[in-house]
């Protein structure tokens, strides 16, 4: 039962019956979520007035309540074949609806929840890879590693113990690390990356070009791929400056023996320019949006190398 009172409202505001119904409905959804038999509407429960604490609590409960899922976006080579995929987190909450990762990942970082959530992603990604391999889909899966996870001394152990549990090789789980997380705390980050590389993990720098990475330092990083940020792709093929940036990133990658993946490619004109610039791995809506497991498998099996 969800309960809302007209006389509890701020005396300055006029309460419409529809507002009351909406508030009672919100309280009802909270009652269901908390497995209570009834809940009163309080100002905290309003869509805009929700307290941070409440939001943290929802996020904290998201794993146990099976509200998180992974979607998979294909990474496609110049022949149109799916050669790998990126796992992207989705959060669907009964009250908040579908919350984009750009909104909840920073909050998970702030609340210290990114470690358990990141651990859940590692677990699910490994389970997914085992499923793919069992049906003959032998491609690697990239997961996003947040700056906080990279600083956590248990990361490598968590990754290796999951791989062992699922009988997987480190090469099958690629790690995407944002350029911005590489800039902070350079000394220790380098050691962590070198250790992960020795353990066999293949790493890429995500959102490359947005974080002002030190190019001399880049030479020392054990990463195999630069992911060209979507902001440089969106205005292709007309924006001359962006064309120059894309060409520069591809040249840097080439002379360091790295690959490039372009993100956010959603038109054939962008695709043509990127291929002409020698960027041969493409990710974006032009090929496919991130898809739930079954849809991704159907797509990938029809276009696998
Ligand atoms: P990202 O790792 O750079 O992921 C690429 C984002 O671009 C995804 O957004 C994807 O859906 C979107 N995208 C791909 N192709 C296109 C396109 O053609 N057009 C447009 N407009 N967008 C495209 P998404 O899924 O909303 O994820 C946003 C960010 O959230 C990710 O950026 C990543 O930084 C973070 N994130 C997502 N999942 C995880 C996770 O499991 N762990 C961590 N730490 N971060 C995650
Ligand atoms: Mg990524
Ligand atoms: Mg990115």
| Residue environment code for 274-289, b if the CB has 16+ CB neighbours within 10 A, otherwise e | beebebbbbbbeebbe
Tens of pLDDT, residues 78-126: 999 999 999 999 999 999 999 999 999 999 998 999 999 999 999 999 9
Please tell me the pTM assigned to this model: 0.85
pLDDT tens digit string along 216-235? 778 888 999 999 999 999 99
CA of 153 to the centre of ligand 3 (A): 24
Ligand 1 and 290: CB distance under 6 A: yes
pLDDT under 50 in the chain at which residues?
A: 5-20, 22, 30-31, 33-36, 38-46, 48
User: DSSP 3-state assignment of 248?
Assistant: helix
106-112's contacts with Cβ under 8 Å and 24+ in sequence apart are 107/52, 107/55, 107/56, 107/59, 108/59, 108/146, 109/146, 109/147, 109/148, 111/56, 111/59, 111/60, 112/148
Q: How far is the CA of 263 from the centre of ligand 1 (A)?
A: 9
Determine if ligand 1 sits within 6 Å of the CB of residue 144. yes
The reply to whether ligand 1 has any atom less than 6 angstroms from the CB of 109 is no
Q: Whose CA is nearest to atom 8 of ligand 1?
A: 88
Considering only CA atoms, give the Rg of the chain: 22
> 143: CA distance to ligand 2 center in Å?
7
- Which residue has the least CA distance to atom 42 on ligand 1? 144
**Which ligand has the nearest atom to the CA of 233?**
1
- Distance of alpha carbon 215 from the chain centroid: 25
Whole-number Å distance, alpha carbon 75 to ligand 1 midpoint, is 13
Please give the pLDDT value at position 293: 98
């Amino acid at each position: 039962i969800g309960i809302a009172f007209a006389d509890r409202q701020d005396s300055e505001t006029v309460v419409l019956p529809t507002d009351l119904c909406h508030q009672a409905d919100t309280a009802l959804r909270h009652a269901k979520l908390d497995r209570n038999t009834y809940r009163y509407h309080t100002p905290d429960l309003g869509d805009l007035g929700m307290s941070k604490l409440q939001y943290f609590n929802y996020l904290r409960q998201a794993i146990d309540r099976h509200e998180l899922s992974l979607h998979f976006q294909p990474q496609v080579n110049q022949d149109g074949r799916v050669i790998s995929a990126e796992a992207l987190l989705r959060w669907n909450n009964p009250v908040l609806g579908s919350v984009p990762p750009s909104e909840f990942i920073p909050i998970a970082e702030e609340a210290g929840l990114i470690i358990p959530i990141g651990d859940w992603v590692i677990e699910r990604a490994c389970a997914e890879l085992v499923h793919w391999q069992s049906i003959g889909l032998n491609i690697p899966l990239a997961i996003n590693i947040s700056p906080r996870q990279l600083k956590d001394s248990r990361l490598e152990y968590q990754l290796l113990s999951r791989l062992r549990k699922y009988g997987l090789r480190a090469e099958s789980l690629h790690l995407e690390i944002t350029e911005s997380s590489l800039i902070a705390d350079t000394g220790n980050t380098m050691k962590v990356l070198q250790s992960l590389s020795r353990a066999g993990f293949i790493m890429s720098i995500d959102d490359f070009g947005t974080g002002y990475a030190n190019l001399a330092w880049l030479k020392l990083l054990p990463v195999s791929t630069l992911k060209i940020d979507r902001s440089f792709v969106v205005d292709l093929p007309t924006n001359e400056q962006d064309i120059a940036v894309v060409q520069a990133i591809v040249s840097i990658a080439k002379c360091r023996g790295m690959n490039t993946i372009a993100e956010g490619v959603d038109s054939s004109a962008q695709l043509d320019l990127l291929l002409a610039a020698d960027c041969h791995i493409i990710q974006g809506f032009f090929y496919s949006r991130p898809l739930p497991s079954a849809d991704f498998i159907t797509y990938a099996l029809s276009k696998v190398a």
